[in-house]
Chain A
């Protein structure tokens, strides 16, 4: 039971972080379908940091540096979305999809190259971080507290305050609702959209590194992040683009995701004799059903997905 809570919380943290990233980007008017790829690249940045850092470092600087690595990689990567979709008015769906594929391919090629350079016989795309991972965990009476749970909550508060209590946040949201009106009162729509995309990179990168630290202590980059970026988008839609609701939605989705990891710990679930694959597909199935019921009265930002053209009024 404790294990279930633990996994639920950590998966909810991942989903919440990434969904909040999507929330920033979409409120500024850019649909960020590339979150999956951004997560992979963020995870790569963090994993490379963990690989490079000596084990002798204390927990706090390690955590900060790893987080920084993930964020820097992911923000740089999300700039690819920004350039294409904001400056060149490219189709946001194509570019997002391309970023997802590029993320996995680039990470795989890079990690394999690093592994092969270190040991010519090693052609795997795995990075191990057994020691570094321990620094993220605090054992409280059998419950493995992960610092990311706290980071996720802090980032949630930050997102709420920035979006609703600052001039910047309100302006950002205006650009996603009616960019022409925002422009007419002197807001630079392009700048705001860039801000939205880059912030989604910050959140996506954190979510990515958090995801690969959730259960295992080595990551095979060929596998990407198994659709988590898209689950996060489902969380965001279910959360109606509002940070507090996103947090609740993330808990729900996290619970179902966690079940697939720990269902064999529950005698009554094992007794049902359902194949493991069913638990694996649960989060996706649930999100499909949830979306079917909630999308009708969707409160999506009105101008999302439409490239902003200053010449068009």
Chain B
């Protein structure tokens, strides 16, 4: 009897753990069932590497958007990841207590601001700035990367910080006692020990960047062409779905689901990579 009682929570937790599996399965099946027919019809190569997207004329090539997603996300990561990790170190190690008391809730607040507000703000400030100072229409890869970098900061900062402050005190104390400076301690002791949390933070942040739709719709310009510079407008896979789903029907709608499949596969590859990195670490 007591053994049963002891086992019950485990079973309940296991049942709850099934939720994410079933959710993923439902979504996967749904997207594939709806998107696969058009890929089969157009041909995988022509769909993924096709350069022309004109659904109303029966042309379904999404390569410019794949490139768009990669470039914008890369840009966001280049800007956002170093800044985010620096901020988490700041919070965990350098911030004076009163400042920390302001900074931490401020970051939570940043996480709560609707993406549409970021997009709107970007349209009002970043886009005109780029248009006037750097040229082009302002709606550009650069504008999207900057907005996304800001948007992924809270994810990166809060999760990295949690993993840094959760380290046992004696890590730091021991290292300082050995005569290492504060920065050396952070760099050679704390960061490696908190690595799994920080990697998780970065992956979740990049995931959010790839997945973001509404904010980038507003600042990217959404042109379906291979960009020649970071000041050119591009369209990402998500914005393709976001912009056109409302009015699409028939094959056009299927092609948007198929866009979702490609997005899905890219994310899966990222996940596998991430899992490889995190499980490879010595335990």
- Whether A associates with B in a native complex is no
Binding site for B on A (CB under 8 A): none
Binding site for A on B (CB under 8 A): none
